[in-house]
Structure 1
Amino acid sequence: MTDDRIRVRPAAQEDAAVLAELNAFVHDLHVEERPDVFRTATGADELRTLFRSFLARESSLAYLAESGGRAIGYVTATVHRRAGDVLTRPRNFAAIEHIAVDPAAARVGAGSALVEAVRVAAREAGCTSLVTDVWAFNKAAPAFFEDGLGFAPMRHWLEQGL
């Protein structure tokens, strides 16, 4: 259920610093669990630059959730247009890349509202599906996406260190 006080709006270039700040809520878990893949940003400028670059891309979708006058979460996604080939059909889809909600504001519907904003924008962009992936260590993510939002598994990635 979404709290009526949550407002979702498109993120803009001037929101890069807010996105960078909110990113810590989920990125810190990734750094802790997989330091071989993820690293801590060397500074706020580095993260702001990353988000500004993302927001400048034509294929980018990004939304902020706000409540009580402050940002409490964000989502980023990319629209992909695949032409198809001899083995695959053409398809347009959106892929959620980042989603983070301030733990102090969790379980009031901000995450669901953010994903719904991406769904709407993806449909408007001609996409026929919405996909995401989750890291195995992030135990809350499958329940959020599958049980809470109706996503279904479509493939499994496996890894072997060399």
Structure 2
Amino acid sequence: MTNDTNRDETTAAGAAPDAHIRRAEARDIPQLHKLLREVLEVHHRGRPDLFNTGVTKYTDDELASIVSNDETPVFGAFAADDATLYGYAFCVFERHADSHILTDVTTLYIDDICVDEAARGRHVGTALYRHVLDFARGAGCYNVTLNVWSCNPGAQAFYERMGLKPYKVGMEQIL
């Protein structure tokens, strides 16, 4: 889905007074890596049998490709200096145009959302999520979806406060 939101910037309503939200750019990659590592460590602590530690989710080239692609918009909440990243939301447009069982709707899937530990409690996550909702509405999406690991009850509680409801549940049996 093509959208002219690369330059779109909004004030992060309710967030830190100096916060604003914009599309992430290649220059933000070092800070994106820092927050991606924070998320990985949360998941590693909760499920060390599944999540590695001390690694990076993406290479610099992969991140550059993601942030430059309109099909995978990444939004960042930045300080007034536009250099300090408070949090991010990685998104992916999903469609099931050729499915025999799923309707042909456009979904904005939130692949990853994180607020820096130092910025928590300042409503940065709320501002990011609301920005994603507004973006999805503007892009003609039917819904916004995400996955949350059960080992991260804080994230699940946040998403429930934002109004999300389970639409499918993943289950496992460890052998």
Query: What TM-score does the superposition give when structure 1 sets the normalisation length?
Result: 0.87
SS of residue in 2 equivalent to 1:52: helix
Q: Does 1:136 align with 2:153?
A: no
Q: Percent identity?
A: 28
Please state how far the C-alpha of 1:121 moved relative to its aligned partner: 1.8
Please state how far the C-alpha of 1:111 moved relative to its aligned partner: 0.6
Within 5 Å, which residues of 2 pair with 1:55-134? 55-67=67-79, 69=81, 70-83=84-97, 85-134=99-148
Residues 65 and 110, structure 1, Cα contact 8 Å, conserved in 2: yes
Provide runs of 4+ in structure 1 moved above 6 Å.
none
CA distance in 1, matches of 2:134, 2:98: 24
> For residues 97-127 of structure 1, what are the alpha-carbon distances to aligned partners after superposition, in whole Å with 9 as ceiling and x for unaligned?
1111111210111111111221122222221
> For residues 33-75 of structure 1, what are the alpha-carbon distances to aligned partners after superposition, in whole Å with 9 as ceiling and x for unaligned?
223332235469x543332232243311111112253211111
Q: Which moved more, 1:65-74 or 1:95-104?
A: 65-74
Q: Does 1:33 align with 2:46?
A: yes
SS of residue in 1 equivalent to 2:73: strand
Structure 2 unaligned regions, length at least 5: 1-13
Within 5 Å, which residues of 2 pair with 1:36-47? 36-42=49-55, 47=59
CA distance in 1, matches of 2:152, 2:72: 24
Query: What TM-score does the superposition give when structure 2 sets the normalisation length?
Result: 0.81
**Paired positions, count:** 160
Question: Relative to 1, partners in 2 of residues 1:79 and 1:34: Cα closer, same or farther, differing over 3 Å?
Answer: same
Aligned-CA RMSD value? 2.1
Q: Which moved more, 1:57-66 or 1:30-39?
A: 30-39
Residues 66 and 72, structure 1, Cα contact 8 Å, conserved in 2: yes
CA distance in 1, matches of 2:101, 2:66: 30
Q: Does 1:52 align with 2:64?
A: yes
Residues 7 and 65, structure 1, Cα contact 8 Å, conserved in 2: yes
Structure with greater helix share of residues: 1
CA distance in 1, matches of 2:97, 2:173: 31
Residues 41 and 47, structure 1, Cα contact 8 Å, conserved in 2: no
CA distance in 2, matches of 1:62, 1:112: 16
Q: Does 1:9 align with 2:22?
A: yes
CA distance in 1, matches of 2:110, 2:46: 21
